[in-house]
Chain A
Amino acid sequence: MTAAHSDPIHSQSDHIRRAVSDRAKRPLTVKVMDWVRDRPEGGIAVMFVLVQLCCIIGALLFPESFRYLLPANLSVLLKSIAVPGIMALGVGVLMVAGEYDLSVGAVYSLLSIVCANLANAMLGDIGMDPHSALAPFAAMAVALTLGVAIGLLHAFVTLRFNIPSFITTLGGMLLWKGTTLLVHGASALRFKPTEPFATLFGGGLGIIHASMIWFLAFALLFYFLLHHHRLGNHFYAVGGNRNAAVAIGINPNRTKAIAFAIAGFMAALSGVIAATRVGSIQPGGGLGMELQTIAACVIGGFALNGGRGSILGIVLGTALVFTIQDVLLLLRAPAFYFDMFVGALIVIAVVMNTAIRRGRA
């Protein structure tokens, strides 16, 4: 730049710097209000807090009929959030990269059965004598590796033949569901792993079950991956504008393949953790979870066409959906109310987010 230009230029940078520091000095309440207004997960955070407040007030007013605050209920609630939450983390990361995985429910069932069968075959059942402490870990490692492999297979088919992942993983869902019945049949399967595996994945601290701790640990890990790591940045770029990502030198297929692998890994992990918690596996247990987790992500502010979403959104979305389920159970409402509520919530969440975005554009 020539000297003649340099003065207004410095003032331009200083102007931005001043504006940035002014924004940093906003009072906390203003910051929170702006966050709620600007972020897609902001609206859902407000809704989550309101639902919790209503539940707590209700529980305080009617402690006999609405036992929301009883430790037993809170424990059940946290457990019910954890497993779909773990799965939703993988589904959400893949959605950010602009793809879907409809097969996670089927993969969840298949790989938990694979894990249990392998563990039992290697004397990993607590009832066996002698039994092996390492067997469940080895079985789990196999299941998680298979989860990654299945994710990569979906990625290969989707990216190599350039077809929508919706179709690939819809096919995958039916394929893996069929595979489950082929290798195992429709009967329930016992999974009572040896220690220390049982405590590590099925124990807990007070009312907080181990699955919840794993969920929070992975949420934290994924928070750093998605929001602070270069790879996460590339997920957003590839999902937000594939052509721009290519033009800037990001390999979209490699990036998306990693996201598919993460979704497969998390589906397998959630399956193993759920099996450990329950102690037995129903081959049809994962049915419908793919849509529940996508619903949780959408409610948490994820865009269906990719490039948008946050880990906080996944956590809040899952927590909100399963809080509502818990409340309905406490009110002894028939199960179909849950579907109706979640259905309405999805539509409301997307309407809200679209309105926010249009209002600011």
Chain B
Amino acid sequence: MTVHTEPLRPAGLAGHPGAGLVPTETPLYEMRNICKRYGSFTALDNMNFHIGRNEVVGLLGDNGAGKSTLVKMISGINPPTSGEIYVNGKRTEIRNRSDSEAAGIETIYQDIALVDSMSITRNIFLGRELVNRWGFMDHRRMQEVAIQILGSAVQISGIDNPDKEVGFLSGGQKQAVAIARAVHFKRNILLLDEPTSALSVRETEHLLAYVRDLKREGTSSVLVTHNLYHAFQVCDRFVVMSHGTKVFEARKEDTTIEEVTDHVIRT
């Protein structure tokens, strides 16, 4: 990598508050001067954020820093109040899930986004059912693909029935289903919002290895996590948020786990 970067100083001290690292090539995805307000409350304040090609970005910060708001914005279900979004350098409106799907973005949500009362297969294909021209579902084909997905993304202990209701799965199994779904449909960008919180050590290792494999295949990821050791295993760049703004940004080679920890704790 011949990227020349300098770590950002805490917002307010630097010349451009929250500007952070400037992408050196056209990023896959970029947001500029993004604000999100709920009434008088500002959840995101002048946020700049980008995802490069073949890159894993670690999004860090304490609870309430605005990480989930940012992830929901990238995935389209939480449109910004103001600011610009660029996909492949082109100004793009991403205001709902269909927009982000068109941009090739898949998300694994912290609160999992599965419907407990529906089967694993139906959850995997929710909103993307395989249907004939009249809209009737092809159950057989969906089941076969579901079996392939369940076998490929992460090793899910103890799932042997794709017709099983998701509500009867353990937390880790649910998360694995959500991961398998996102991984199957991803094209350019995979967002992982606290993906390892319910996974076992072995499943976590699998997932992190998988994120690295995806990068090799050309899929960039954003990993939101509290666990800096997981982040340091896979991420190329770290963005630390606090109170809705970016307070620190650095490439892995320019920083240390201590420095990043310090920024997460201090701000």
B is bound to A:
yes
CB-CB under 8 A for A245 and B135, given A16-B159, A230-B129, A250-B126: no
Distance of A8 Cα from B155 Cα, bound (Å): 9
How many residues on B have C-beta within 8 angstroms of the other chain's C-beta atoms?
42
Q: A12, B118: Cβ atoms under 8 Å?
A: no
Q: Which residues of B contact A248 (CB under 8 A)?
A: 97, 113, 126-127
Q: Which residue in chain B gives the minimum CB-CB distance to A11?
A: B151
Q: Closest residue of chain B to A16, judged by CB?
A: B147
CA distance A228 to B142 in the complex (A): 12
Contact with A along B151-166 (1 / 0, CB 8 A): 1100110011110000
Interface residues of B in 115-148 (CB under 8 A from A): 115-118, 122, 126-127, 129, 131, 135-137, 139, 143, 147-148
Answer whether A308 and B97 are a contact pair too, CB < 8 Å, given A16-B150, A228-B136: no
Whether B126 lies near A233 (C-beta < 8 A) is yes
Query: For B152, B159, B209, which residue has the most chain A Cβ atoms within 10 angstroms?
Result: B152
**Shortest CB–CB separation between residue B97 and chain A, in angstroms?**
3
User: In the complex where A16-B160, A307-B115, A361-B168 touch, is A230 in contact with B151 (Cβ < 8 A)?
Assistant: no
Interface residues of A in 1-27 (CB under 8 A from B): 1-2, 5, 8-10, 12-17, 19-20, 23
Within 8 Å CB of B136, what residues of A?
224, 228-230
A229 to B101, CA, bound (A): 22
**A249 closest partner in B (C-beta):** B97
A231: interface (CB < 8 Å) = yes
In the assembled complex, B207 has its CB within 8 A of some CB on chain A:
no
- Check A13 against B117 for contact (C-beta < 8 Å): no
Which of A147-155, A163-171, A236-244 contacts its partner?
A236-244
User: Shortest distance in angstroms between B260's beta carbon and chain A's nearest beta carbon?
Assistant: 28
How far is it, in angstroms, between the C-alpha of A236 and the C-alpha of B118 when the chains are bound? 7
Q: Could you tell me if B155 and A244 are in contact, using CB atoms closer than 8 angstroms?
A: no
**B213 vs chain A, min Cβ distance (A):** 6
| Residues of chain A with a CB closer than 8 A to B150's CB | 12-13, 16
* Bound complex: CA A360 to CA B168 (Å): 7
Q: Report whether B114 and A244 are in contact in the complex, using a CB–CB cutoff of 8 Å.
A: yes
Using CB atoms, name the residue of chain B closest to A1. Answer: B213
41-84 of chain A: CB within 8 A of chain B: none
A230 contact set on B, CB distance < 8 A: 129, 131, 135-137
Expressed in whole angstroms, the Cα–Cα distance for A270 and B158 within the complex equals: 47
Contacts of B253 in A (CB 8 A): none
Instruction: Give A55 Cβ to nearest chain B Cβ, in Å.
Output: 33
| A20 vs chain B, min Cβ distance (A) | 7
25 contacts between A and B (CB under 8 A): A1-B152, A13-B150, A14-B151, A15-B151, A16-B150, A16-B151, A16-B161, A16-B162, A20-B143, A23-B161, A229-B136, A230-B129, A230-B131, A231-B135, A236-B117, A236-B118, A241-B117, A244-B113, A244-B114, A246-B97, A247-B77, A247-B113, A248-B113, A307-B117, A357-B167
On B, residues with C-beta under 8 Å from A are: 75, 77, 96-98, 101, 107, 109, 111-118, 122, 126-127, 129, 131, 135-137, 139, 143, 147-148, 150-152, 155-156, 159-162, 167-168, 209-210, 213
Tell me the A residues contacting B by CB distance below 8 Å. Answer: 1-2, 5, 8-10, 12-17, 19-20, 23, 224, 228-231, 233-234, 236-237, 239-241, 243-250, 303, 307-308, 357, 360-361
